[in-house]
Structure 1
Amino acid sequence: MSHLLRTSRVFAWFFLTGLSVAIIIASSLYLYLRPNLPPVEQLLDVRLQTPLRVYSKDNRLIAEFGEKRRAPITIEQIPTIQLQAFLAAEDARFYDHPGVDIKGLTRAAVELITTGSIQSGGSTITMQVAKNYFLSRDRTFIRKFNEILLALQIERELDKNHILELYLNKIYLGNRAYGIAAAAQVYYDKPVKELSLAQMAMLAGLPKAPSAFNPLANPERALIRRNWILGRMRDLGYITEDAWSLAANAPLTATYNTREAEVDADYVAEMARAEMVRRFGEDAYTEGYSVTLTVDSTRQQAATDTLRSGLEAYDRRHGFRGPIGQIDIENLTPAELSDQLLSYSRIEALVPAVVTSVDDEKNEAQVHTRRFGPGIMPFETMTWARRYRTERYTGPEPKAPSDVVSAGDVVYVKIDQLPQVTNTEADPSEQPTEETAPSELRVSLTQAPDVEGALISLTAKTGAIEALAGGYSFNQSKYNRATQANRQPGSTFKPFLYLSALENGRTPATIYNDAPIVFEDSSLETSWRPQNSSGQFYGPTTLRKGLYRSRNLVSIRLLRDIGINTTLDYLKRLKLPTENMPANLSLSLGSGLLTPMDLARGFAVVANGGYDVQPYLIERIEEADGSIVYEAPETILCDRNCPTSPRQSEPVDIAGDTEGMTLPAAQAEETSDEPRVMPRLADERSVYIMHSMLQDVVKRGTGRRALALNRSDLAGKTGTTNEQKDTWFAGFNHDVATTVWVGFDQPAPLGRGEYGASTALPIWVEYMKVALKDRPSATMPRPNGIANIRINPETGERARPGEDGIFELFKQEEAPAPLPVQGNGTHTDNGNGDDLSRQIF
């Protein structure tokens, strides 16, 4: 008995000694680690990394930027059964323990002793919050002690629901999804509240190993994990036996879903992204900013679609350049064909496909597409494919499919009709019947255009960008031609020359001689002999007719008359860039360089009645909590005695940085109630007369295709440079100004018959059908001091009784003198000593 007592005492002393040592070690660790632990108060002010989102004016998603997909959610927005699924999977005693589960830690310690390695961490949800928000993911004892201490501290200062909410918003659930709301979107394309029980259990299984239990990467292991969690939920009393049975037998329904952009506006999105990074640095991608732009989703989509369609139409007119590659299709399975096509990129709606056979008797070709599998390409979709030779010449029209493609050719196609497929998860009553048997995939032959273009549409009175497309495909080329491409505007420049003339004493009835002219210049190898595009000359011509007929010789003589320096000074007054403008007579033909945005802004000045315009894209920037960081100021058009504003004289620079997409300097200011004051740049009477002259371009001149819109408020100007290297149309009404450019990135002739009226104008018309839909007619109000006088169009003088005459607009002080009184010997001048005889410049 005494031996047993002595042995018990020894074990008791060993136990007490061990316990004391453990307490001393734990206390020492606490005293050592406690000063370095972060304060829990940081959790109350934590900012979860949330991506930058860009929206249209009407709140449609344009783009999302950021490595982490996250959409913070409150615990009240999460169904109770979803919370229970995570508790069953991660911490069933969460609401009972003080932040540390002794049983769990003991189990983890036993596993470590018996296996020699860490099998599980014994972590509670609170400990995971401590690790995710404050600590590294290193599997070390020091980090574990820190985790335990922090968890105890968190439990003392935060309630359980708050801790659980932090956990569910922070955890990584695979596929760049952080937090439960993002995961529900990525895997099921649903909000959390719409998930089924099986789907909730699937998400709850991901925190343990987002890769190993991922239903997309490892469906078999994911299914096992999901069903284990469902069993735990049943055993814990969270769900009934029947609910467990239904959910455990449910098929996997997870698919990869990104939040698709609702508007195709990649160039606009990149402009917004570049500006946000300029403002906020790398924080722009993680702080949850929401950017609302000035673009309207409907008009922006129309800009993207019509530009692409117009470029494709031009490309088809110039023939088929042949396959983009070859594949040896012999003995390849459909899966192997798809793998071979992976090396060919998809370009917007253009899908790579390989021709598997050609059947002239059936008048079709069989193809295998990269994503959609086998399909049929009817010959009727290939009839356009004359063989390309040069931009001016094509081969003969094909007569059969074999004239166009051969087996093994890799070509681009557009999907015309997708096959109907059976959805195994759908209701049987919704499956196709014999009468609605699955159809075959049908495609059309196409090709990626070499030609490029740009479209910019501005609200004339404010400069807000309503729509912008910088090229055929942003994924193919990040180069934003709308803001970066310096090109010759050709005749689209002429309205600014003519407006300068109207401001310098000329009238629409002033006559210039459309006749041959030769310029000798020692710097040129040959004499300069400018011509009209028709190659003909038409004699004395009024300025109005010279503009709407786009007569080059009239423009040259006009510039020589009013002076090159006078014109350049006037362009500076309009705030058009003159750095790349020649100081010679070729200026009159648009030989200087402007970007499409420069030209759009210039026409917006004309459209709004002569006021300054500063294009801008960002309407509002909000932080993650909804507070407004920036809001575009009000725009005020000012005639005289304008208040001083720092924004009034700031330059418009939309292509100034290395990214080439910087917004105007005015946009860089922080939120301010101070408006942007836009002073008058041009005399309103001159601008009103210019409106009338440019309306004639549409009614009677080179812009007649715009008559298809059946509106009376449209004006504009076509433009084509030498050898058709650049083609334009810039048009407007009093509310909106839109410019379209078409050309090659490396300037080259567009080919025979390609002018502004045939390449750019059709795109403009199709876009404006959408942009002007349901918009009332908008014309510039007639200012005071305008006279409408009947003149002789051949002389520019007042028409005599009985003469054929037309009515013309004049500033009152510049109107033709009254006709002299006949037969009484009275005056033959206008009272100022000026000869009223016909003058031709």
Structure 2
Amino acid sequence: MSRILRTSHILAWLFLTGTSLAAILIASFYLYLRPGLPSVEQLTDIKLQTPLRVYSADNRLIAEFGEKRRAPITIEQIPTIQLHAYLAAEDANFYEHVGVDFKGLLRAAIELVTTGHIQSGGSTITMQVAKNYFLSRDRTFIRKFNEILLAIQIERELEKNQILELYLNKIYLGNRAYGIQAAAQVYYNRDVSELSLAQMAMLAGLPKAPSAFNPLANPERALIRRNWILGRMKELGYINDDAYRLASAAPLTAQYNAPDTQVDADYVAEMARADMVQRFGEAAYTDGYSVTLTVNSRNQQAATTALRHGIEAYDYRHGFRGAIGRITELQRPEDELVRELNIYPRIEELYPAVVQTVSDENNNVELLARSLGNVQLNMADMTWAREHRTENYMGPEPQKPSDVLSAGDVVYVTPKQIETNSEPDTADEQENAGQPPRASQVILAQLPNVQGALISLNAKSGAIEALAGGYSFSQSKYNRAIQASRQPGSTFKPFLYLAALERGLTPATVFNDAPIVFDDSELETAWRPENSSGQFYGPTRLREALYRSRNLVSIRLLRDIGLQHTFNYIEALGIPTDNMQRDLSLALGSGLLTPMDVARGFAVIANGGYDVQPYLIQEIRDSNNQVVYEAPSVILCERRCQLDEFPPSAGDAANIRTARRLADERSVYLLHSMLRDVVRRGTGRRALALGRNDIGGKTGTTNEQRDTWFSGFNHDMATTAWIGFDQPNPLGRSEYGATTALPVWLEYMTIALEGKPAAFMPQPNGLVSVRIDPTTGQRARPGQEGAIFEMFKEENAPAPLAPTANTNGNGLGTDGDDATSLPQELF
């Protein structure tokens, strides 16, 4: 007995010694590691790596930038049953333990010793929070000990629901999804509150191994994991037997869902991204900023679509350039052919397809198209495909399919639109909404070589209402709207005419539209400018010269008012002159401006002569939804305006931009009238299709039709469209601003102005209307046939006619008005 007692004492001492040594060791580890542990307070201030999101003015998602997809969510927004699914899968005792499950750790240690690897795991949710937020993923004992200490610390300082919320927003769940809300959107395109029980259990199975249990990569293992979690939920009393049976029998419905962008505005999105990086550096991608732009989604989509349509229309007018490739061996499985088609990119609605059979008898072609499958192309949908030879010449119209295509040709096709007013109502139709169309009928297409841009500005504030920088951002990220410096051609003339009106000339001033030759030392050879028609029309009033776009009149006008004065004036308007030649070719728009420069200049004209500063970002909010930037309100004012002139309702004085006057309002009003004539009776007549009388504008076409433009406006909005090649080349003899750019502008403005009332510039004081002789521009004689009314500044109105010898005593001629006209100098 004494021996047993002695043995017991020895064992007791050994146990106490071991326990003491363990306690000393643990205490030593704690004292050694504790100074290096982060403060738990950092958890409440930590910024989750949330991507940058860009929204339209009407709150539609345009783009998302960032490596990680994350959408932070509060625990109150998560259904209780979803919380139970994660607890069942990861930590059933979460609400009982102190941050560490010692039984679980011991079980994991025994598994490691006996089997060489851990099967059940020993980390609690709190320990995972400690690891995910503060520690590396190194599998070392030091890291594990730090994890235990941090978990205990976290439990002492945070509530359980706070810890669970941090966990559910941080965990990685595969496919770039971080956090439960992002995962719900990635796998099911729904908010977490809209998921079924089976879908909730599927998401709960991902933290353990986001790749191994991923329903997209390993559907069988994911299904096993999901059903195990459902079983655990039943064991723990979270769900009943019926719910378990229904959920475990549910099929897998997960599929990858890219960010659900709602507006086709890649060029705008890139502008916003670049601006945000300039403001916040790399933190722009991770700190959860949301940016609201000035563009309206409807207008923006209209701009993108109109530009594509205009570019495609030009491209089809100039014929088919042939197949983009060849596949010689067609007798292969479809999946092999599709893999070979993958080397050809899909661009917007253009799908690469290989021709399999060509049937002249049936007048059709059978193709295999990437993403579309087996499709058919009828002869009626390729009659446009005349052989392209040059910009001015095409081959004959094809009569049969073999005139255009051969078996093995790789070409682009686009799905043929089938008119339907029905909404998808079956489950399959709803699930396939937004997926590539399974079209049986297609149209022959090709990737255009020509490019273009469209910019629409709010004329009073400068807000960008829509912008398209090219045919496709995926094809070319070069933003022609703001980066392409091109010759504006005759769209420059309104700025020259405005300078002339400010100089005292009038819409009735007459210049001679006659041949002229310049031997200028600054020009390499003698310059013989011509009108686009090649004809000359003699004495022409400025109003008519502008709406008929007479080049010779513009050159004489520039010479009359002076090069230096004109340069000074257009610089004062805010139009850049760095890339403009200092010679008379300036009158024809020989300088270089971007489409944005031109649009901004027309916005100054549209709003009545006030400075315009285009801007895109309306508001920036941080991850806490606090406004960190808001675009200033814009107030139009005269040159000497002061902020104290405006009442408090005008807004916070610290966030106001005053737009000063750059041009005399009377001159601008006269120019409005002249530019409306461009639409009513001149080169811009196609714009009459809008059915509005408040539209003015100007076409522009440069030498050899290398650049074509149309800029049009009313008092509220200014929009510019440009069409041309990236490397300036002729567009073709029959291509002008009115045939290429104006249709783009018209399609866009039809949408942008729909339902909006007419917007005219109010007529300022100091203007008079006078009947004039349309030939001389002088005051008309009484009763003169063909006389017209013209508007003048009071001080520039034509002088009354001198009385004739035969007077009636009141100083007037016998016809009751001025009877003679003054001679008109022509130059």
When the two structures are superposed, what TM-score results if normalisation uses the length of structure 1?
A: 0.93
What's the offset of the Cα at 1:439?
8.7
Q: 1:769 aligns with which of 740, 750, 754?
A: 750
Distance 1:622 1:150, change over 3 A: same
- Specify the alignment match of 2:353 in structure 1: 353
1:429-449 deviation line (CA, Å, top 9, x unaligned): 9999xxxxx996211111111
1:702 and 2:683 are equivalent in the alignment: yes
Question: In structure 2, what residue type is equivalent to 1:105?
Answer: L
Distance of 2:244 and 2:559 partners within structure 1: 89
- In the alignment, which of 743, 752, 760 is matched to residue 741 of structure 2? 760
Amino acid at match of 1:762: P
> Residues 710 and 738 of structure 2 are in contact (CA less than 8 Å); yes or no, is this contact kept in structure 1?
yes
Q: Is the 8 A contact 2:316 2:385 kept in 1?
A: yes
Which string of whole-angstrom CA distances, capped at 9 and with x for unpartnered residues, describes residues 609-662 of structure 1?
Answer: 0111111111111111111101111111111422389xxxxxxxxxxxxxxxxx
Q: How far apart, in 2, do the equivalents of 1:256 and 1:15 lie?
A: 57
Q: For 1:234-286, what per-residue CA distance to the aligned partner results, in whole angstroms no more than 9, with x for missing partners?
A: 11111111211111111100000122211111111111111111010011111
Aligned position for 1:667: none
Deviation (angstroms), 1:116 = 3.0
Percent sequence identity over aligned pairs = 70
Query: In the aligned structure 2, how far is the partner of 1:624 from the partner of 1:34?
Result: 31
Which residue in the other structure is 1:654 paired with? none
- For 2:705 and 2:417, the matched residues in 1 are separated by 37
Change in CA separation of 1:43 and 1:440 when aligned onto 2, cut-off 3 Å = closer
Q: How does 1:288-327 map to 2 (within 5 A)?
A: 288-327=288-327
Contact 2:414–2:442 under 8 Å retained in 1: yes
d(CA) in 2 for partners of 1:525 and 1:603?
Answer: 32
Residue 731 of structure 1: which of 695, 712, 723 is its match?
Answer: 712
Distance 1:419 1:23, change over 3 A: farther
Secondary structure of 1:673's counterpart equals: helix
Q: 1:83-128: per-residue Cα shift (whole Å, max 9, x none)?
A: 1110111011111111111111011100111123444540000100
Q: Following TM superposition, by how much is the alpha carbon of 1:735 offset from its aligned partner in structure 2, in angstroms?
A: 0.4
2:635 partner SS: strand
**Mapped contact 2:778–2:821 kept (Cα < 8 A):** no
Q: For residue 125 of structure 2, what is the aligned residue in structure 1?
A: 125
Counterpart in the other structure of 2:5: 5
**How far 1:507 sits from its partner (Å)?**
0.7
1:428 and 1:95 mapped to 2: Cα distance?
A: 42
- CA gap of 1:574–1:426, structure 2 versus 1, over 3 A, is closer
**Relative to 1, partners in 2 of residues 1:47 and 1:326: Cα closer, same or farther, differing over 3 Å?**
same
- 2:553 alignment counterpart: 554
Which of 739, 760, 776 aligns to 1:795? It is 776
What SS does the aligned partner of 2:222 have? helix
Q: Which residue of 1 aligns with 2:638?
A: 639
Q: Could you say which residue in structure 2 is the equivalent of 1:273?
A: 273
Q: Is the 8 A contact 1:631 1:672 kept in 2?
A: no
Instruction: Report the secondary structure of 2:59's partner residue.
Output: coil
| 1:119-518 matched pairs, under 5 angstroms | 119=119, 121-416=121-416, 441-518=440-517
- Residues 181, 430 of structure 1: alpha-carbon distance in 2 compared, 3 angstrom cutoff: closer
Shift of 1:73: 0.9
1:806 alignment partner, one of 788, 792, 796: 788
Partner of 2:803: 821
TM-aligned CA deviation for residue 15 of structure 1: 2.1
3-state DSSP class of the match of 1:156? helix
Equivalent in 757, 765, 785 of residue 766 of structure 2:
785
Determine the C-alpha separation between the residues in 2 that align with 1:120 and 1:749. 72
Map Cα deviations across residues 785-810 of structure 1 (whole Å, 9 max, x no partner): 11111111011111112322111011
Q: Measure the CA separation in 2 of the matches of 1:251 and 1:576.
A: 63
| CA 512–321 in structure 1, closer or farther in 2 if over 3 Å, else same | same
The Cα shift of 1:5 comes to 3.2
CA contact (8 A) 2:512 2:826 kept: yes
Provide runs of 4+ in structure 1 moved above 6 Å: 425-432, 825-828
Deviates more, 1:325-334 or 1:383-392: 325-334
| CA drift at 1:672 | 7.5
Post-superposition CA distance 1:760-815 (Å, at most 9, x none):
00000010000101110001111111111111101111111232211101111111
Helix, strand or coil: the match of 1:535? Answer: coil
Shift of 1:331: 2.2
Shift of 1:827: 10
Tell me whether 1:838 sits opposite 2:819 in the alignment: no
Q: In 1, are the aligned partners of 2:514 and 2:552 still within 8 Å (CA)?
A: yes
- Encode CA deviations 1:326-375: one digit per residue, 9 max, x unaligned: 11243211111111111111111111111111112221111111112111
- In structure 1, how many angstroms separate the alpha carbons of the residues matched to 2:768 and 2:173? 74
Q: Is the 8 A contact 2:51 2:69 kept in 1?
A: yes
2:130–2:147 CA contact under 8 A, matched in 1: yes
Cα distance in structure 2, aligned partners of 1:427 and 1:54: 31
Query: How big is each residue's C-alpha offset from its partner over 1:261-317, in whole Å with a ceiling of 9 and x where there is no partner?
Result: 111111111111111110100111111111111111100000000000000000000
How far apart, CA to CA, are the structure 2 residues paired with 1:612 and 1:426? 54
Unaligned regions of 5+ residues in structure 2, if any?
A: 645-651, 814-819
| Alignment correspondent of 1:652 | none
Which stretch shows the higher mean deviation, 84-93 or 521-530?
A: 521-530
- For residue 192 of structure 1, report the CA deviation from its aligned partner: 0.8
**2: distance between equivalents of 1:672 and 1:643?**
10
Three-state SS of the structure 2 residue aligned to 1:729 is: strand
Q: Distance in 1 between matches of 2:254 and 2:202?
A: 9
Distance 1:428 1:735 in 2: 46
Q: Partner amino acid for 1:823?
A: A
Match of 1:721 among 696, 699, 702: 702
State the AA in 2 paired with 1:777.
A
Number of the residue aligned with 1:543 = 542
Q: Which amino acid in structure 1 is aligned with residue 568 of structure 2?
A: D
Secondary structure at the aligned position of 1:113 is classed as: helix
Contact 2:779 2:821 in 1 (8 A): no
Give a deviation string over 1:462-520, Cα, whole Å, max 9, x none. 10100000111111111111111110000110011111111111111111111111112
Under a length normalisation based on structure 2, what TM-score does the superposition of the two structures give?
0.94
Find the aligned partners of 2:663 and 2:158 in 1 and give their Cα distance: 65
Matching of residue 740 in structure 1 with residue 721 in structure 2: yes
1:734–1:780 Cα contact (<8 Å) kept: yes
Letter in 1 for 2:461: T
Evaluate the alpha carbon distance shift between residue 121 and residue 672 of structure 1 in structure 2; reply closer, same or farther with a 3 A threshold: farther
Q: Is 1:52–1:290's contact at 8 Å kept on the other side of the alignment?
A: yes
Give the SS at the match of 1:808. Answer: strand
C-alpha distance in structure 2 between counterparts of 1:418 and 1:561, whole Å = 59
Q: Decide whether the 8 Å contact of 1:329 with 1:356 is kept in 2.
A: no
Alpha carbons of 1:341 and 1:586: their partners in 2 closer, same or farther (altered >3 Å)?
same
Q: Which residue of 1 aligns with 2:647?
A: none
Q: Which residue of 1 aligns with 2:585?
A: 586
Aligned length: 802
Q: Give, in angstroms, the shift of residue 44 of structure 1.
A: 1.5
Offset at residue 2 of structure 1 (A): 3.6
Cα distance change, pair 494–788 in 1 and its aligned pair in 2 (3 A):
same
User: Once the 2 structures are TM-superposed, how far is the Cα of residue 417 of structure 1 from its aligned partner?
Assistant: 5.5
Find the counterpart in structure 2 of residue 680 from structure 1: 661
**Cα 1:314–1:255 shift into 2, 3 Å:** same
2:649 aligned partner: none
Give the conservation status (yes or no) of the 8 Å contact 2:780–2:821.
no
In 2, the alpha carbon distance for the partners of 1:439 and 1:90 equals 42
Question: Aligned partners of 2:551, 2:186: CA distance in 1, in Å?
Answer: 59
Shift of 1:409: 1.1
Question: Distance in 1 between the 2:158 and 2:510 partners?
Answer: 86
SS for the counterpart of 2:237 is coil
Amino acid in the other structure paired with 1:713: D
Structure 1 residues 417 and 459: CA distance shift in structure 2, 3 A: closer
What does residue 658 of structure 1 align with?
Answer: none
Deviations 1:660-702 (A, max 9, x none): xxxxxxxxxxx97331111111111110000000000000000
Inter-partner Cα distance in structure 1 for 2:252 and 2:123: 29
CA RMSD of aligned residues (A): 2.2
Alignment CA distance shift 1:462-1:331 (3 Å): same
